Structures are given as C-alpha cells and as structure tokens.
Amino acid sequence: MFLDSARIFVKAGRGGSGCVSFRREKFVPKGGPNGGDGGRGGSVVLVARSQVRTLVAFRYKKSFIAPSGKPGEGSLRTGASGRDLLVPVPPGTVVLAEEGDEVLADLVESRQRFVVAQGGRGGRGNARFKSATHQAPREFDPGEEGLSRWIRLELKLLADVGLVGLPNAGKSTLLAAVTNAKPKIAPYPFTTLRPILGVVEWTRRRSFVIADIPGLIEGAHHGVGLGDQFLKHVERTRVLLHLVDLSDQASDPLERVMTVEHELTAYGAGLDQKPVVIVGTKDDIPFDPEKEGALREYAARRGVPYHRVSAAAHKGLHGLLAEAWGYLSDEEEA
C-alpha cells in the first residue's frame, strides 16, 4: 500500500514537579531547603529516514506521546528528563498544521529533524525560592504541560524527472524500460494507481530518479479521476517528460497535450514553469503521421524539445534520456 498523507496526534511529555525538601543531618538542626528541580518532559521529534518509503505506518498508529520528566528530589537532585520520542518519516514529508495550510516543516533530506511538540519545562524545587528573608520556603512549581496537537503529514516524492500524461500514454512501459522498476503494465487506463520511482543509471557515477505519476484526466486539479492527490508529487521534479500516445486514433494528440498542460497550470505550484520535453510514444504501432507532425510543430512553436520513442522496442530512449540529463547536469553545474 502507498499512503501519501496522514493525520496524527502528538503530545510532548510534562515536566516533572519541583521537590519540597529540607536538609536533615545529625548536628545540623536548622538545615536549609534542598529540594531539586523537576526534569524536562520529552519532546516529539520527526526524523527523516531514507529507509522509510511511505506514510503507511501512520495508518495503524496515530498517537505519539513522549514520556514525562521525573520529579525533583532532595539533596538538590534534579529529576531525570523524559526521553525524546523519535518518529521516523520518509524524506519528502511536509508537516502541516491541522487547520489551514500552514507549513510547519519540510523534511527533504535524510536525518533532517523537526521538533513538532516541545516537552514541558520541569518545575522549580523549594531551594530556588530561598532568600535572605525567606529561609524556609515550601513553595515549588509543578511541571509545565508539554505541547499537544494534531498535525497533518503529506509525502511529496523526491524525483528528478516526472512522467506525466493521460492514462495509458506509456509511462509505466517507459519507466520499466529505462530503470529496474517493475510497474504494472496493461492495455487499459489507470494501471498505475500510485506513484512509482525508478533509478536511471546514466553513467557509473551519475544517476537520476524518475517518477511515474498516475495518469491525469480533465479536471484532475479538482480531484477528478485519481485527482490532485498525485499532482503534488510533480512539484519536486526538475523536468517533466510529457508522454503522448501516438497510436491512439480516438482523439487528436495535440488536444491531449493541451488537456494535461491545462491541468498542470490550473493546479499551480509552478508546474507550468518547469522544463518539459514532449514525447510521442508507441512508435512501434502504426500512427497518423499528419497528427504526429502537428504535435512536432506545436513543440517547436513552444520552444520545447520533442522526441518520438518506443519503450517496448527500446527505440529512441537514449536520446530522450540524454535530453533529460541535460537539464539535470546544467542545474548541478549552476
């Protein structure tokens, strides 16, 4: 199962109470106050771990409560602090407040941390209240409550190249042809029901990640079809490969391109500003050369590259990958 959003409850530990204690020793009849402070409550900390791939664990566990601090003791001994509760999440997780769209943190890199709920401070013991005019205080502070709240987690895949297009455009076939990923491939729409990542080994020292995004249809930015729940995964990609099925005789490929482009623009988040390569797919199946020519001319008018490939026959793939790598290498050098 692929789960890319979750709602969880986090509660930091309460601080330990301060201690009321007085020094009691033989031959010291008037020992002063020696009550120690309480320990700090444990915090809830989200930690990005590369070993974690999805948010599926949060389907079964939704409450995360850190331990409280221990109370102070006599002889000025401070109570033990509660241990922080570390909650692993996959890199690419965005932490949002439950109400509204306020972004609390964006955990992009592995081992990146965010304290989502701060532990409460420990209370002061009576030794803290001693003064020249108040030498036997019995006051103390109770520990502070730790922060508790509901938060939302959203996973946005970290990929260099995103494959977009209408359902059955050949995205899964292309991903399987150029990476070791094994997506489901079938001759009907919506075979991809969740984003799938694959790694292209371009050279011995250079590789990049491709994400196969489930097919988009008209109204996707409003949640139609598989909806905008998957469009967010395109936000982090650096270049888009827009795949168009040339063998589909039921509609004009140019109209299909414009449908997807409209959805990317309507979704926002700068998707329409990303570099794009238009890719005519299924070159091994007969297609209308006039419609393919119109698609090529459209790409030229827009000033974007155009490639015609057959993933099944491994035709034209090297040139397409070289085009995509060109965008990535330029960004690395910059």
**For residue range 200-254, what is the model confidence (pLDDT) as tens digits?**
877 766 778 888 876 554 443 344 334 455 566 677 788 999 999 998 887 888 9
pLDDT band, very low/low/confident/very high, at 194 (cuts 50, 70, 90): low
Superfamily of domain 1-155: GTP1/OBG domain (2.70.210.12)
Domain ranges of the chain: 1-155, 161-333
Instruction: Say what the pLDDT of residue 248 is.
Output: 86
What values do phi and psi take at 115, rounded to 5?
Answer: -80, 105
Q: Which of 60-74, 126-140, 163-177 has the lowest mean pLDDT?
A: 163-177
How many angstroms separate the CA atoms of 124 and 100, rounded?
37
Show Cβ contacts of residue 48 under 8 Å, excluding neighbours closer than 6 positions. 88, 89, 90, 91, 92, 93, 107, 108, 109, 110, 111, 112, 113
Q: What percent of the chain has pLDDT over 90?
A: 46
In this prediction, residues 108-135 reach a mean pLDDT of 93
* Single pTM value for the model: 0.63
Q: Which CATH number fits domain 161-333: 3.10.310.30, 3.40.50.300, 3.10.450.50, 3.30.365.10?
A: 3.40.50.300
Instruction: Say what the pLDDT of residue 221 is.
Output: 38
Residue 191: pLDDT above 80? no
Q: Which of 66-70, 162-166, 231-235 has the lowest mean pLDDT?
A: 231-235
Instruction: Say what the pLDDT of residue 178 is.
Output: 87
Q: Which of 27-31, 145-149, 255-259 has the lowest mean pLDDT?
A: 27-31
Label residue 156 exposed, middle or buried (CB < 10 Å: 0-12, 13-18, 19+): buried
Residue 164: pLDDT above 80? yes
Q: Which of 59-68, 105-114, 232-241, 285-294 has the lowest mean pLDDT?
A: 232-241
How many angstroms separate the CA atoms of 192 and 173, rounded?
11
8 Å CB contact between 192 and 168? no
Q: Which of 102-111, 162-171, 322-331 has the highest mean pLDDT?
A: 102-111
Mean pLDDT of the chain: 84
DSSP string over 15-62: PPPP---B--BTTBTT--B-PPPPPPPPPEEEEE-TT---SGGGGT--
Four-point Cα dihedral 46, 47, 50, 52, nearest 10: -40
Beta strands in the chain (DSSP E): 5-11, 44-48, 63-65, 85-89, 93-97, 103-107, 113-117, 148-155, 161-164, 196-201, 207-212, 239-245, 276-281, 306-308
How many angstroms separate the CA atoms of 226 and 192, rounded?
10
Residue 247's closest CA among 292, 278, 189?
292
Q: Which of 7-16, 32-41, 47-56, 142-151 has the lowest mean pLDDT?
A: 47-56
Instruction: Say what the pLDDT of residue 156 is.
Output: 76
